[in-house]
Each structure stands twice: as structure tokens, then as C-alpha cells.
Structure 1
Amino acid sequence: MYCLAQEAQPQLPQGLFQEDSVKIGQEVNFLFFYRHAATEEIIFPDSTYNFAPFEYVNRRYFPTRTRNGISHDSVVYTLRTFSIAPVQTLALPVFKLQDQDTVNITALPAEIYLRQLVKGPASLAQLKDQTQLAPIPERFNFAYWLIAAGFLVLVAVLVWILFGKKIIIRYRLYTLQKHHQSFIAKFNAYIDRFNKSESLQIVEQAITLWKNYLTTLEGNAINSFTTREIAAYYNDDEDVTTALRLFDKAIYGNIVSDKSSETIIAFFLLHHFADRRYEFVKDLTRNAATIQNPVQLV
């Protein structure tokens, strides 16, 4: 009887951190996957779930793989912690829809260590009281002020001559990173909304966001291109051509509800392509021979 009871137990999901230690505020990836019968409907935790002691940053889903009646679902959560506990654990559940009820199946806790940056107690300096204060008349020294101002101007000019190009490149890299992070957050939000509603309007909005981002990134009017022109512009890149073909099939064929898995694949292909273009433009910017040369190259 004990053996039969063990076999009736559902297989637990599994989760593990990509690193064995983390610093306070540092982002860390948490790999979470679950094997189950293909007939079961499983839901993973989303951004509304309480990941304490961690804070949710974002997530990336992977398409379900099914073989011999067994499905494999997986997701990578990006988390961060501000807890000072030396050892921190996380045990996530999956939610199985069963009849009119929801069954929680929780993984075994995964551990990660907090990386300590301060060793031992901090020493405080000895302070001495000084109660005798002497009045000092205020005087403004114009000569010193002019000398200091001239020195600062000279230093600023020298810094610009020596490091002006590097400063501009670093600022360009900073703006590229900020724009990319903003795009990824908005694009992932569209993926989440599509998973819930399977709306063609969300698909069209996501494509428009993707085109506008590449227009800014590449410095070209990609948002006015047709599907064929975009494919030609990127030399028939496989990710782009496959994703846009699947999206066109869903939009103009109005079959998104029957092929939602293909549409999800198209979302991730455009996501992956935007990541590749960002890295490409970032490398061009970092290695630019002169600031005047354009970095928006294909």
C-alpha cells in the first residue's frame, strides 16, 4: 500500500538558481521546469506571485515540448533580493487545473547564499568635543575664485580633448541600454497579455512596438517598411522572416486561436532578433573609429 501511494504522488516541479551566491540587489536567474502528462493544464507563477524573500524582475517562457505523452514546460525568472539572510530559499508551485478546482504542486526549496561584502564589525572613530568657538569674519576672495574658475575651465577643456570621444560613446551606450531595457519590458508585457487573451490587436501592437524600436536603434524608417522590405533589409534573416510570416498568417488568416503556439514562437523570434541587433549596434558604437561615423549599420 505504501508503494502504491508513492506512485500516486504527482511528480514535483524543479527549480534551481543559476548561481550559487548573490549580492544584495543583484539580479539572478532562477530556472523552473515541470514534467507532466500532456493532458494536464498547468499554470506557472506570474508577476503577481509573491517571490519573497526575492523580488520579481522579469521572466522568459520557453515553448512546451511534448514527447510520448509527457510535456515539459520551463521558464526562467529573473529575481533580486534585498534580504540580509545569509542563506535564502525559494520554493515555487505550479497550478494544475483539475475539474473546477486548482491544485498547487510545490517544488522542493532551492538555496542560494548571500555574498557578504563587509567582513567583521565596523569600527567607529573616536570623536572629541570642542565647545570653544571663535568667530571668523566672512570675506570673499575674488582672486582665488577667478584662479579656481580658470583652473576648472582648463581642466574641463583638457578632459574634453582627451576623453570627449569616450564620454560620447559611453553616453550612447547608456542610452542604447536604457532604450533596450524599456523595449524588452514592454514587449514581454505584450507576450503576457497575449497569453491571457490571444487577441490579434495585441499582436499588431507588439509588431508596431518592435518596428519602432528597430527604427530608433538602426536610424532607418523600418516602421514604414512592409514585411517583404523588412526581410530584404535584414538579408532574409531566418528569425525575422519566420516570425513575420507566422504573424501575417495569424493576422490576415484570423487563425490565432488555432495556432497560438506558433504566434508565441513568433513573439520569441522577434524578441531574440531585437536582442541580436542591440548587441550588434552596441559593438559598433563601442568600436567606432570616429564619433562622426554612423553606427546604425545593417
Structure 2
Amino acid sequence: MVVSLLLGVLPAQVASAQSAKPKGQFMTDTIRVGKPFLYSLSYRHDPAQEVFFPDTTFDFSPFQVLNQEYFITQTDERGSLDSTVYRLVSFEVTPTQPLSLPVFVLNNNDCTAVYAAPDTVFIRFLPEVVQNDSLALQADTKVVPLRRQFNYAVFLGVVAAVAGLSLLIYWLFGRSINRQWQMFQLQRRHREFVRTFNRLNRNARERNSVSDAEKAVIVWKKYLERVEEKPFATYTTREILDNIPDEPLADALKDIDGTIYGQVRSKNMDVSLQVLRTVALRSYRRRRREIAQVGKEPVTE
């Protein structure tokens, strides 16, 4: 649209322009505040001359430049014609606003600014609204519900308070809480061991099952491993006795080994398994005393 408008106006008007002075003109007579409009600038000169037009960084006061469009140089017997179109906007309310832009001609040492004749544009104001006292505004008092917004300040404050309270409680009661938790874990594992061990012992007695007796020994070793914190599951009978020197335990383990490896149930199998259960109970009670004494002063005679 800009190209067709410029080509329709410039050739007839610029052809008669003086060769030594550029021509600048608004493409409309009146403008509105805040509405873009066009301003054309052209200059006919000697083809040997090099000229420059103001770019968008130039001061176009009282206007503001939005963009600029250049056109290809046209050369004929009258010389070279350079032209450009600026898209401007004004936010001033002065009724008349003039503009005169220069064209810079390159000389041997510097550039000479040659100004176009000023052109003026007029501000078109909107028609005044006719006030009518008979028209009354109706109040709209309908309450519009607002969306709840998350209060991050209160949330962060609550988090900080909870964190501080938790640290204070841990500092005051952390050792006691940790001791109670360890005690709870120890009791839970002992109940699970007793329930599983008794079931396997009962199956071994009622079914005359050597495999259930072997499973009971495995459960016993794994339980001692958790309580004593030693790898009893991988220990041989000799290594177990080295860690738990006990004569009834030695007899019980030898009797159980003979039953497992010989695949013939011993008549003392029930007694031997009960010995293992007694050893596990003794280890459990010792560990309970150790946990209960954590953080306490040792009792001296």
C-alpha cells in the first residue's frame, strides 16, 4: 500500500523539484493522536553524489517514527531520484505540527545537511460528547467473587515455625525418641522371630520334618545377625560357639547338625531347638538393656 501510494504521488511532484533541495511532505492533511500516518522524503541530485536519509534514530520531534521504507534509486536525464517513506505517530495535542527533515550530502570532508521545506499537518479531534442530563447511570452493585490467592508469606512462615519447633523438640528429646524407636524396632523383629521360629519348630515336631528344622536354624541365625550385628548367617558351628561360648548351645548345634546332614530326626531335636530359642531370647534382652542405657550415666557400686 505504501509503495503504490508513494509511486502515485511522488513521480508527478518530485519531477518538478529543484535539484538542490529535497522535498518532504505528509501523505495526509490531518491526523489523529496515536494513529500512524506517512511522511515522504525525496531528493533529486547529481548521480555522482552520494546522499543519506535520516534513519529511525533521528529526532523526528514532535513525532515518533515507527518504521521506514526505502525505494530503489531512479536515474534518468534529469538526475538520480532517491526517496523514502516514514511511518510516524504523534501523541501531541497541538493543533498544527510542522516537520522538516534533512538529506545529508557527502562531500570530500564531511556531510552537508540540506533541509526540505517544512510541511504541516493538522490534528483532528474527536467530536465532543453531548451531555444529556436525562441519561442517568445505573449502579451495578453485584458482588463478583474473587479467586482465592495462595498466601506464600503465611505458608513460608508456617513451614519455618514447624521446622524450628521440630528442631527444638529433636534437640530436647531427640535422644529419647531415637532410643524408643530402636526399642520398638527390636521388639517388632523379636515378635516376628518368635512367631516364625515356633511355627517351624511345631512343624518339625508334628511332621517329623528335617527341612523345617533346618529352616528354623536359618531363621535363628538371621535373627542373631540383626541383634548382634555379626554375620551369623555365614558362620559355621565352630564360629558361632567362638562368639557365643555356651555349653548347652554347643550340644544343641551338634545335635542339629547331625540331624540336618544325616537327614534323620534326633530324639532331642525339640530340646535343641528350644536351646536356640533361649539363646536368641538372651541376646534380645541384652540388646534391650544396651539401648535403654544409651545416653545414661553408668551405674557404679
**TM-score normalized by structure 2?**
0.46
Pick the structure with greater CA Rg. Answer: 2
Q: Which of 1 and 2 has higher RCO (CA within 8 Å, sep 6+)?
A: 1
**TM-score normalized by structure 1?**
0.47
